Amino acid sequence: MDRMLYLAMSGAKQTMQAQAISTHNLANVNTTGFKADLAAARSMPVFGEGHPSRVYAMTERPGINFDHGSAQFTGNELDFAINGDGFIAVIAADGSEAYTRRGDLRINASGLLENGAGQLILGEGGPIALPPSEKVELGIDGIVSVRPVGQAANTLAQVDRIKLVNPQLSDLVKGEDGLFRMKDGSDAPADAVVEIIPGSLEGSNVNAVAEMVNMINLQRQFEMQIKAMKSVEENDSAAAQIMRLA
């Protein structure tokens, strides 16, 4: 009986972890450039004395859904989406170089270019600093140009170029902050082939309907595990009563 109780408890715990992954995806259904986490369960034999005749479930994140979200036109001169494959290089909270597809840019109080999450955008020589200007223009190649204050409408000065990278997806790992990094800890080189779509933003690639259906299935699985534990309790009580009668 104790073995059945352990297996049911293990299944309920792993189901809760799968629910946490699905909940996290649903919470980011409207997050710009978000990539959904995948979840999978596999059986693990219970090793110990005797033959490993029993198995328990283990939920794990086998990878990330790298499908592109749909590009939505905003008309904002500081918004852009990646056209096809590629990532934007940013500075993470720990100071390391990381990668994202979030292109909702803004200029902070220090005149530095950052995205909506407050991550500084990297250029060819570090964070991109913009001088006082009347207009900011992004080229499809990532070049950032400005029209200085008081200059003619057709006057544009190139400031920097956004660092766009396109590493192998298998070389990337997703951190708890939602940013991607190289598995070996190195910095990905800039890729001049990557292009952007100015005035647009890439939406999340989370399928809200699919995630909701998955949540319902996980809830049913959790209830089945709880019922199994309840059955173990009832069987144990019945066995104890029979032993007293004996």
Cα 128 from Cα 91, distance rounded (Å): 11
Strands (DSSP E) contained in the chain are 40-45, 55-60, 71-73, 80-83, 87-91, 97-100, 105-107, 113-115, 120-121, 133-138, 143-148, 157-161, 164-165, 172-174, 180-182, 195-198, 200-202
pLDDT of residue 17: 87
Q: What is the pTM of this model?
A: 0.81
Question: Rounded to 5 degrees, what angle do the CA atoms 81, 99, 106 make?
Answer: 55
Strand, helix or coil for residue 111? coil
pLDDT of residue 246: 59
Cβ atoms of 11 and 221 closer than 8 Å: yes
* Residue 172 β-bridge partners: 182
Which pLDDT tens digit goes with each residue over 92-144?
999 999 999 999 999 999 999 999 999 999 999 899 999 888 889 999 999 99
Q: Could you tell me which residue, 125 or 1, shows the higher pLDDT?
A: 125
Closest CA to 205 of 27, 35, 58: 35
CA atoms within 13 A on the CB side of 38: 9
Quick check: 239 pLDDT over 80? no
How many CB atoms are closer than 10 A to CB 71?
Answer: 17
Closest CA to 232 of 12, 15, 18, 51: 12
pLDDT of residue 7: 76
How many helices and strands, by DSSP H and E, does the chain display? 2, 17
Which pLDDT tens digit goes with each residue over 204-224?
999 999 999 999 999 998 898
Cβ atoms of 69 and 76 closer than 8 Å: no
Closest CA to 40 of 22, 61, 26: 61
Which pLDDT tens digit goes with each residue over 61-93?
778 999 999 999 999 999 999 999 999 999 999
Band (2; pLDDT cuts 50, 70, 90): low
Mean pLDDT of the chain: 89
Quick check: 1 pLDDT over 70? no
For the packed helices 208-245 and 2-27, what is the interaxial angle rounded to 10 degrees? Answer: 160
pLDDT of residue 230: 86
Could you identify the residue written with the tokens 């283990």?
58
Cα 108 from Cα 231, distance rounded (Å): 59
